[in-house]
Amino acid sequence: MSRTFANFYIAVLVSSLAALLAVGCSGSGEATQEEDAEGPADQPNIVFVLTDDLDFTSAQQMPEIASLLVEEGTSFENAFVSHPICCPSRATILTGLYDHNHDVRSNRPPPGGFEKFLSEGHEENSIAVRLQEEGGYQTAFFGKYLNGYPADDLTHVPPGWDEWYGKLDEQKLYDYRINENGEVVSYGSETEDFFTDVLSRQATDFVGRAAPEDQPFFMYVAPTAPHGPATPAERHESAFTEQEETPRPPSFDEEDVSDKPSRVRNLERISDKEASNLDARYQKRLRSTLAVDEMVASLVQELEEAGELDNTFIFFTSDNGFEQGEHRIRGGKNQPYEESARVPFFVRGPGVPVGSKTEKLALNTDLAPTFANLAGVEFPADGRSLAPILRGEEPSV
């Protein structure tokens, strides 16, 4: 199966599921905004945490996320992305559109990447612009934006963001730069320069400054973990040493692949050495995610101390899943399989059922319209607001 066909297969499959299971979401976009939107006086804060390549199973291993988000909110057990690779998924999150509508189809130009997103005019029409201009929100971005950012302009700050802390050196967690509100700031290789910790300090600092203002805020926090090289913080280098192995679902090192495309049929079985390497990488990915876990705890604590926790929705998810030996695929994403497209998705906030799980289908196309709906503004998108589910209601068709 070619990569192009695989992407098409995913888009068609997920689009069909979305149509069939629309009962899991709200009705038409316009009606939803009128019926479900809160009035301006009731606008909540919105904190959106987007991890990088975090698979569904690994997310369950994080203690703070489990206690502060899963146990205090709702878990979406059937959350997927329409195209499981970084830039197209992030473009969908910002626009609420499928690939064939935003036309960012890969991580690099000409068909994808930051430059494609920019040339298509999406920065002027992102959810951040809508929340800032029509919702009156303070907006702030922290971390990884789009692959290939910032192209030729290191000081580029996209419209819609009151504060901007965009990472410039992609996956490096030491010796990197950040565009901090139009000024390039360099970080080194000291312990305190570890990127996820810097990101956490910047995000919690914003909460402390924004909370006293008589204005709701929207935060988009995007760590690079556990994307390779999956560098852990020094304090976590010996964590998960007792972790036995990469998850071994029935699809792991699949014995019979006769029903699979030729590319998978031609893959050899996973050797013992390869399985050991997969286990080592799995442990490393878990270690690198622990700093994100601590960041979530810091954000919750800062929100609570600022008196804003009860008026804040916290969304936690990933841009895609990750293959770890399933269907004999040693690693990566961008595959027409659940392990690539399924993502963890947890939400806590005012009115969200505590400690609950929902089987309703959720897609990354639904995020932007959900944020807009909660903020009381309209935002045309391919997705639908998840607000009724977050209120524990049975959505109308």
Active site residues: 86
The DSSP output letter for 306 is T
Beta strands in the chain (DSSP E): 45-51, 74-80, 138-143, 163-167, 177-180, 183-186, 217-222, 312-318, 346-348, 356-363
Nearest in space to 52 (alpha carbons), one of 105, 107, 6, 109: 107
Q: Is 371 exposed, middle or buried (0-12, 13-18, 19+ CB in 10 A)?
A: buried
Sheet arrangement for strand 177-180: 183-186, 177-180, 163-167, 138-143, 217-222, 45-51, 312-318, 346-348, 74-80, 356-363
| Alpha carbon distance, N-terminus to C-terminus of the chain | 35
* Bridge partners, 76 (sequence order): 358
Q: How far is CA 281 from the centre of its chain?
A: 21
| Tokens describing residue 131 | 């929340």
Q: Are 37 and 44 in contact (CB under 8 A)?
A: no
* Bridge partners, 167 (sequence order): 178
Q: Is 266 exposed, middle or buried (0-12, 13-18, 19+ CB in 10 A)?
A: exposed
Question: Beta 183-186 vs 74-80: how paired, if at all?
Answer: unpaired
Nearest in space to 316 (alpha carbons), one of 43, 18, 68: 68
